[in-house]
Amino acid sequence: MADHALRKAPLAGRHGGSAGARVTPAAPATRLSLRAGADALGALSAAFGLTLPTRPKTSASAGGRHALWLGPDEWLLIDENEADLMALAAGAGVLHSAVDVSHRNTAILVSGPHAAGAIASGCPLDLGNAIFPVGAAARTVLGKIEVVAFRPGEEDYRVECWRSFSPYAFGLLSEGAEDAGL
Amino acid sequence: MLLIYCPYCEEERSELEFRHGGDAHIARPTNIADISDAEFEDYFFLRDNPKGLIFERWRHIHGCGRFFNAARDTVSDKFYMSYKAGEPKPYIPGVSPASEKPLSENVGETYEATEGTAK
Ligand SMILES: [Zn+2]
């Protein structure tokens, strides 16, 4: 008998896309669904080591940790180094709601010159430079599922989706990547 | 595809991100335990469903998550404007509301007025 259960990554071993738009599963990360009022943002920002953004569709990043604006009092926090975000939130000492969604979500990275086109195959969000520049983030839809789109780099997009929907999202993005740039 | 302006995201987004929420500016009776069945029916179930300009609730459910209100023409589907929950019915220049109820009525929205603040 195994001494402990092995965690299975939802998209382990998958690869897809095209030369213009690579589609790859993101590495595991810790994530928080954070809700807080304006009076708590200073203490929470200090606890997380970045300034929680308050403008629509913006984000803040520091050392592999990202805070994505989802709504007027809602953020998605992602830590690519798997820091204990729940402990950081608990130490802020101000009223807030934090739910650990590290394993509810998984992410798919879409990169390359045709990355935006690959995502646009199933997403109505305008991903152009003028309206979705580097650092932009938004909750939206991809095909029939809800996703959070984030643009960490010029040709890099991160698509966060719920774990159980990830094979669908990966398939749709891979198809889109093959079509983009044709 | 319709583009709908979200007053919280401050931009137009695809209708795929939104959910319709029925008529706006319906004030919940303050004496709801005392009203008759007929009065409750009128408040809870009966809507005018008019042709033309109406004011209705929408939720940016696959975006910022917020409820807001919009002025829309039910015939052309044209959105005249959107405004935040809790704000009064706007005046739309050159267009009369299709509902028989006068514009000054039902401006008070008890729950929507406080919906914007998490406590
Ligand atoms: Zn919105």
pLDDT of residue B112: 46
Domain ranges across chain A: 15-180
Distances (CA, A) of A37 to A138, B7, B87: 19, 19, 20
Residue A177 CA to residue B110 CA, distance in Å, equals 48
What total number of domains does chain B contain? 1
Q: Is residue B113 pLDDT above 60, yes or no?
A: no
| Residue B51 distance to chain A (closest CA, Å) | 29
**pTM for this prediction:** 0.90
List Cβ neighbours of A73 (8 Å cut-off, separation of 6 or more): A35, A36, A37, A38, B117, B118
Using an 8 Å CB-CB cutoff, list chain B residues near A70: 64-65
Q: What is the pLDDT along chain A (182 residues), one digit of tens a residue?
A: 567 777 788 999 899 999 999 999 999 999 999 999 999 999 999 999 999 999 999 999 999 999 999 999 999 999 999 999 999 999 999 999 999 999 999 999 999 999 999 999 999 999 999 999 999 999 999 999 999 999 999 999 999 999 999 999 999 999 999 999 77
Mean pLDDT of chain B: 86
Residue B118 CA to residue B61 CA, distance in Å, equals 17
According to DSSP, the β-strands at A65-71 and A74-79 are antiparallel
A94 inside 8 A of chain B by CB: no
pLDDT of residue B101: 56
Find the closest chain A residue to B65 by CA distance.
Answer: A71
Range(s) of the domain holding residue B70: 3-115
Residue A119 phi/psi, 5° resolution? -70, -40
pLDDT of residue B103: 47
A39-66, pLDDT tens digit by residue? Answer: 999 999 999 999 999 999 999 999 999 9
Q: Do B64 and A71 touch (CB under 8 A)?
A: yes
| Residue B48 distance to chain A (closest CA, Å) | 32
B17 inside 8 A of chain A by CB: yes
Q: Cβ–Cβ contacts within 10 Å for residue A30, how many?
A: 20
Q: Is residue B102 pLDDT above 70, yes or no?
A: no
Residue A10 CA to residue A107 CA, distance in Å, equals 10
B33-63, pLDDT tens digit by residue? Answer: 999 999 999 999 999 989 999 999 999 999 9
- By the CB criterion, residues less than 5 angstroms from ion ligand 1 are B 6, 8-9, 60, 63-64
| pLDDT range class, residue B100, cuts 50, 70, 90 | low
| pLDDT range class, residue B82, cuts 50, 70, 90 | very high
Q: Cβ–Cβ contacts within 10 Å for residue A170, how many?
A: 23
Mean pLDDT of B67-94: 94
CATH number (domain holding residue B9):
3.30.2270.10
Residue B72 CA to residue B80 CA, distance in Å, equals 6
Q: Which fold has domain A15-180?
A: Gyrase A; domain 2 (3.30.1360)
* DSSP code of residue A26: P
Residue B13 CA to residue A170 CA, distance in Å, equals 24
Q: Which residue has the higher pLDDT, A6 or B22?
A: B22
B94 inside 8 A of chain A by CB: no
